[in-house]
Structure 1
Amino acid sequence: MTPTPLLARGVRKRFRDTQALDGLDLEIRPGTVHALLGPNGAGKSTAVNVFATLTRPDAGEVRVGGHDAVRHPARVRSTIGLVGQSAALDEALHGRENLVLFGRLHGLAKPDAVRRATDLLDAFGLTEAGDRKVTGYSGGMRRRLDIAAGLVTRPQILFLDEPTTGLDPRARHEVWDMVRQVVADGTTVLLTTQYLDEADQLAEMVTVLGDGRVIAEGSPSALKDDLGGDRVIITAAAPDDLGRMAEALGSAAVVDPDRLEITVEAGTTGGGAAVVDVVRSLDSAGITVDDVLLRRPTLDEVFLHLTAPETEPETQPEGAAR
């Protein structure tokens, strides 16, 4: 039976006056991309460092690939790959030489390291660039080579800490394709990112951290549904039509006269069915509209909602009437 790639229970880590992790619980299913989100200071990088045995937790249990990360860190390291925020490449070496070096450092015999480097260059579309110095690589090529280096030992789980920070849109999509291929080949990925669309595109499960604790967890679609589901936004052709449109659409319609828009929650029927219902209702009333848009919540909205700072209740001055 394949052990759970990563299991954390009640993990705590403190740095002087900062409680970086405060009872973190996390479980990752095999063969998936699991995204770890949170604002700066939420504990994402500390969590990855603890999971990768780079930082020792103060309390709690961490098991990676079935191994206790505190008692058996060497066993954990043999099952993981780690790609940090900065590329760990020697720019004076060729791409192929970098991968062979990583293989040798991980104990591979030279012929095995050379074969593994060739396979990875081919898998990541870097064969032609393999015998060029890394200093001439684009940002996307360097990141792909960096991820390839993290896979030299065929890890059970790969930690990707903000892998596309600073890349242009084309390079980001190249990295996304590589991540999908890594998972298709059987490796589990824990991804930390500040790009919400990245988590939406890649992750089957998302865990949102706040102050070192889990504040929400679920699939991207489930988290978006919890925020309120789909909405249909109808733009009136003329200001005078708003009243008739609201009457035709019923009490659930919310009117925005400044934008000439009416919003209707899709409810349990789903977005597509709600659009059909809206169009039929307006057509039956003989109302022509300028536009009908199905608006789905974004993961950005979920993130902002979950991580919004709590507002302090207003207090009355001393002696004020109650």
Structure 2
Amino acid sequence: MQDMMRAVEITEPGGPEVLQQCQRPVPVPGYGEILIEIAYAGVNRPDALQRAGAYLPPPGASDLPGLEAAGHIAALGPGVADWAVGDAVCALLPGGGYAEYAVCPAAHALPIPAGMDLKSAACLPETAFTVWSNVVMRGGLQAGERFLVHGGSSGIGTTAIQVAKALGARVFATAGSDEKCAACTGLGAVAINYRNADFVEVLRGEGGADLILDMVGGSYISRNIKALADDGRMVFIAFLEGPKAEINFAQVMMRRLTLTGSTLRPQSDGAKAAIALELKKNLWPLIATGKVQPVHDSEFALADAAAAHIRMETSAHIGKIVLKVR
């Protein structure tokens, strides 16, 4: 196997232009880790935050961006017994996905769902781990409940719509254009164009949301509280408008609301391994039957990672953006 690999690094905090090709040593898997020869890598908003200097890698992780990838196992670290060299996998990475090779804990890798290609599989880990852990494990979504996801046309949003629909929930989604709303409707959601409709009024007219998945924050926080049904739950996973807001906590108490949230990357290896087991048991069968599928937006070469970030930051995309590495 080669000693050096192509990669894209962050030369300094800044805009997409700071993403530059480089040569790096091929990483060596440690105890309990696997080395993946990457075919495709997913592009996600945390990558852009890291590029801007606002989302540092956890201790010991690669400084290269990239939190998910699909490819084949090139080497096994000591103590790995459940995988073999050559196995096709997709994996949640601690970093390093914008490269020809990356290492990750073996417990954070999953088999490629039956009938799925590597490009589609590279779209799964970040969104699947995030959606399942927050909508199902943390949010406790049940069949028959009303579920609202903001940013319904994003990678997270399109996955959340399909998962909630498959679990028997009634799904609502906000988006900012007729095209994006049509995409949400096609996946099974009641789409709300936030530019000409108030999601609070829509949800209150339906009895309120039992669960809201929010990645906007800011002004949406107090509006989400108004949109919740009594005993409703709200789960935060990002704050595109910012993490601060003034809210009336009396409403939280009187209506018995639950406000919670999580971010994936800082969680322990054990916590991520537990999520992976949940995905393999519960979500992978839904993918195998076609009830949940990645929604593709666009593909860029590894060398064009900056263009992929520009595409993502315009918010014009519908679904996932990937980098073709090989």
More helix by percentage = 1
Larger radius of gyration: 1
Establish whether TM, by shorter chain, passes 0.5.
no
Task: Give the TM-score range, shorter chain.
Answer: under 0.3
Q: TM-score, normalised by structure 2?
A: 0.23
